[in-house]
Structure 1
Amino acid sequence: MKEILSEPAVASCVQRPVDVVFMLDGSERMGLEDHRRAKEFIEKVASKLTLASGQTDNRNARFALLQYGSPTEQRVEFALTHNLTVIYDALSKVNYMDSSSALGSAIIHAVNNLVIPRGDRLVRRNAELAFVFITDGITASEQLDEGVSAMRRAEGVPTVIAMGSDTDEEVLRKVSLGDMSAIFRGVDYSVLNNPSFFERFIRWIC
């Protein structure tokens, strides 16, 4: 019954074009087990949403993933793609950085390498550019304002997944552009497997 009830919310997303850039915290605060849970969540979201039929399809969803650590550690795990096999294969090869956290530098790197590399915008025309941050907000302050500004200029729409109680609320507010409803919270990363949490996220991202 729960699956049937959730179908209309998911179905409403089918024709709507959205390019989703996941920003995965690879800092030591994340921890290997929570990092694994976050990867499983990304895979589950990709398998749930209807993906575009090709790179030129102006409907449905595409995904990209950037893992970030220190200011010099930003790793594009995969660029915007509609190919579920590419997403699965790339996720299986993502290694946990176990580094520090420089979110501002990571946003700038994502915009310059995933969204507008060499000045050419890769986000599809009329598609929403969704940034999904998996972070507790505890990060270096350097370039954070510049990163948020870069996201604004790229017309990115942020969503923040912030698990646990030890979070930096000021950073979360800043990255969510002040929209507190865009911050998804839970006691820990096991919440990502909660069906109600998952369906709520799907409805939001759609």
Structure 2
Amino acid sequence: MPVCVSEPAVASCVQRPVDLVFLLDGSERMGVENHRRAKEFIENVARRLTLANGQSDDRNARIALLQYGSKSEQRVEFSLTHNLTVIADSLAGMSYMDSASSLGSAIIHAVNNLVIRLARRNAELSFVFITDGITASDSLEEGVSAMRRAEGVPTVIAMGTDTDQDVLRKVALGDTSAIFRGEDYATLGKPTFFERFIRWVC
């Protein structure tokens, strides 16, 4: 039975503390429809994971979302939280930036405003990038260094064929298995892709 195969991987996510920080590209290249699909994906992940029971719970998952645009446009849509209502309401009310892209600045902002202040000491810190990697090159090295210092584990979701492989590899800290690819953003809604992602972050 294939269901049994995935059960241990999913179950391990229940007790293990994970703080997931999503960084969503709000640049004009994303487009409204892809942005909507990405928001749905984040909400589905939140519904699928076993979320922490409260702020003091040192197990299970918490999620944060930063939408980023140009260097001066970094928007924390919701901080690290275990509250599914907060996550769903924030996603429903979130507007698409339709801006430029400064990924390095976004990582620095996430580390300074989400990780340092809010991340649990005992939790694995997981950065999930939803991006094509096409971004301003300034601050990228600095951002990657900040993620390393915070001991963040990167996962990159890169949909479509028009992607910057060098940037994606750099942000994935050279681990190509941490780069999840798909033909287009509709892939995010496919069960096989979704389950593979859940097993990976767990």
How does the TM-score come out when normalised to structure 2? 0.97
- Cα distance between partner residues in 2 of 1:10 and 1:63: 17
Task: Kindly provide the CA deviation profile for residues 116-156 of structure 1, in whole angstroms up to 9, marking residues without a partner as x.
Answer: 14xxxx21121000000000000000100000000011111
- Cα distance between partner residues in 2 of 1:90 and 1:7: 30
- Cα distance between partner residues in 2 of 1:3 and 1:57: 29
How does the TM-score come out when normalised to structure 1? 0.95
Equivalent residue number for residue 133 of structure 1: 129
Aligned length: 202
Matches within 5 A, 1:117-156: 117=117, 122-156=118-152
Equivalent residue number for residue 26 of structure 2: 26
Tell me, yes or no, if structure 1 residue 61 matches structure 2 residue 61.
yes
CA shift at 1:115, angstroms? 0.8
CA shift at 1:3, angstroms? 5.4
- Cα distance between partner residues in 2 of 1:74 and 1:86: 19
Q: Which ranges of structure 2 fall in alignment gaps of 5 or more residues?
A: none
Segments of 4+ moved more than 4 angstroms? 1-5
Amino acid paired to 1:112: N
Equivalent residue number for residue 177 of structure 1: 173
Secondary structure, counterpart of 2:19 in structure 1: strand
- Cα distance between partner residues in 2 of 1:195 and 1:4: 16
CA-atom RMSD in angstroms = 1.1
Task: Kindly provide the CA deviation profile for residues 88-137 of structure 1, in whole angstroms up to 9, marking residues without a partner as x.
Answer: 111111100000100000000111111114xxxx2112100000000000
Identify the match of residue 184 of structure 2 among 184, 188, 205.
188
Tell me, yes or no, if structure 1 residue 40 matches structure 2 residue 53.
no
- Cα distance between partner residues in 1 of 2:89 and 2:156: 25
- Cα distance between partner residues in 2 of 1:62 and 1:84: 10
CA shift at 1:4, angstroms? 5.8
- Cα distance between partner residues in 2 of 1:6 and 1:93: 34
Equivalent residue number for residue 77 of structure 2: 77
Secondary structure, counterpart of 2:21 in structure 1: strand
- Cα distance between partner residues in 1 of 2:12 and 2:126: 17
Secondary structure, counterpart of 1:55 in structure 2: coil
CA shift at 1:6, angstroms? 3.8
Secondary structure, counterpart of 1:165 in structure 2: coil
Secondary structure, counterpart of 1:53 in structure 2: coil
Secondary structure, counterpart of 1:171 in structure 2: helix
CA shift at 1:26, angstroms? 0.2
Tell me, yes or no, if structure 1 residue 111 matches structure 2 residue 107.
no
